[in-house]
Structure 1
Amino acid sequence: MSHASANDIELVVSNPCFEIWLLLHHTDHRSWTPDYRAVKQKLQQFVDVPSDKGVAFDRDYGERWGEAVERARALAPEGHEHKTNPSTRMWRLVVTIAGDDQ
């Protein structure tokens, strides 16, 4: 992480896994989560999670990204996501791509 910072590279870290970002599209999940299996189990309450980890973004997540951004930002101070469980910095990438860079 220090190498990335020294070279002006922003990392997108999710703890415990990327799927926490997907879960935040459906619920305000804030409790410690041990691993991918636990996140997947919670996510399956809202959407189908195929074994190949395929994601139907438009159908299952598209209109909910704004809520997911708010929820993700509330989980950890920016830049400290790697120290917090659960957390994700995917919100930063999404707002940048959307041209909503805050």
Structure 2
Amino acid sequence: MFDVEWPQNHPNLDQAMRLAREHDIKLAVSNPCFELWLILHHADQSAFLDTKAAERRSRELDGRAGKRIDAAAYLPHRQAASKRASVPAERHARDQTAFPHDNPSSTMGDLLAAIEPVSGRG
């Protein structure tokens, strides 16, 4: 799980992505940053964001002062966040917008789908 960090991407970002694919390691990536995933718990986000704007917007939405989040306030909204994340993902796929230019995007919903039990299965 990692962030892209706009406007200054990590210099080894492409290499890390390639190595993960080569070793069949699944990644949860938020672009521009994890705070996008927090935003998606509260609101749609389809416009490009840099890291500072995403951090500011997520604090506006949940009222926190710093980076510490109240997980209990977010857990009930994780499925809505996953659905909201699918909207820009579908647009990026349709437009053939490749990583890391797929801002905003988050695959945190894919991580949730992989680790949470499916309803109705025992």
Contact between 1:13 and 1:81, CA under 8 Å: does it hold in 2?
no
Aligned residues: 96
Shift of 1:81: 5.5
Contact between 2:82 and 2:109, CA under 8 Å: does it hold in 1?
yes
Aligned positions of 1:66-77 closer than 5 A: 66-77=79-90
Shift of 1:44: 2.3
Contact between 1:14 and 1:82, CA under 8 Å: does it hold in 2?
no
Cα-Cα RMSD:
1.8
Partner of 2:60 in structure 1?
45
Instruction: Give the TM-score, by structure 1 length.
Output: 0.82
Larger Rg: 2
Point out the structure with the larger helix share.
2
Cα 1:72/1:15, change in 2 over 3 Å: same
In the alignment, structure 1 residue 26 sits paired with structure 2 residue 39: no
Identity among equivalent pairs (%): 32
**Structure 1 unmatched ranges of 5 or more:** none
Q: Relative contact order: is structure 1 or structure 2 higher (C-alpha 8 Å, sep ≥ 6)?
A: 1
Instruction: Give the TM-score, by structure 2 length.
Output: 0.70
4+ aligned runs moved over 6 Å, structure 1: none
Shift of 1:83: 3.2
